[in-house]
Structure 1
């Protein structure tokens, strides 16, 4: 996993070209004005989901990981905490291939707090529990880029 700020463009210039394509798309488009939904960037290989929700308590959320796609969470409005762990440290449940969704159970080994402009790249081995409140519940808007693992 990689945690950073979209504003530190030169720091991340050596990342995978598909991840850089997502950052470039975010810089060229005012994603905060996008309606909720899915937007194609490069067919099934790169797309972005614009989502909005209210953050909540850990007890109200779930673990997830993905095998086919890398997730890039880019916060557009608000702040959220994301719990993290590696899938081998958690109990893996059934993988739903049609949704590219692996459900897991267990405890986090770390957390990251995202604020506007912050991103988190989650690779297939990175389990994440999103939408956790930082100090209090709040509404967030986020872009979740999906990059096909090659």
Structure 2
């Protein structure tokens, strides 16, 4: 997991993998105010952005997810969002919904080692396939959030080596 902010991207860009660089460049250079919620291609089906408007909810109301094929980059445009995060370790319980390839996700209930990560506008969080995460959480009261999630096929990292 990597956490950053668009205000620091120019200085940190040189240290990022070329695939991450392409995705975060897209996030920092795109005018999302003019775009409607939906899916937008960046690099065909291997890298795309999903713009979404949502209301944050409590941790008890949302299952955590873990992907196997795609990396996620969550980028907050408006609002205040908390994402629960945990690295998959031996102490993680079995998923409540096993991995489904068509959704590239297994879903989890309670995660004992889950840590809340708070995002504010301009923040981004890169989640690796081994990262279990619970997006769209309210730290206190529910609120409206506008965000972008970039999905990156892990095969792109192998091609870039």
Query: Could you state the TM-score of these two structures normalised by the residue count of structure 2?
Result: 0.87
Q: What's the offset of the Cα at 1:52?
A: 1.0
Distance 2:4 2:14 in 1: 12
Which among 102, 105, 111 is matched to residue 109 of structure 2?
Answer: 105
Q: Any idea what SS the aligned residue of 1:106 has? A: coil
**Structure 1 runs not aligned, ≥5 long:** none
After superposition, the Cα gap between the structure-2 partners of 1:105 and 1:41, relative to the gap in structure 1 and judged at 3 Å, is same
Distance 2:84 2:118 in 1: 9
Q: What's the offset of the Cα at 1:128?
A: 0.4
**Structure 2 runs not aligned, ≥5 long:** 156-161
After superposition, the Cα gap between the structure-2 partners of 1:56 and 1:11, relative to the gap in structure 1 and judged at 3 Å, is same
What is the match of residue 92 of structure 1? 94
RMSD value, Cα: 1.3
Note if 1:114 corresponds to 2:119: yes
Distance 1:42 1:92 in 2: 33
Q: Deviations over 1:42-74 (max 9, x none)?
A: 011110000111011111111101111000000
Q: What's the offset of the Cα at 1:15?
A: 1.4
What is the match of residue 127 of structure 1? 132
Q: How many residues of Structure 1 are paired with residues of Structure 2 in the alignment?
A: 150
Q: Any idea what SS the aligned residue of 1:13 has? A: helix
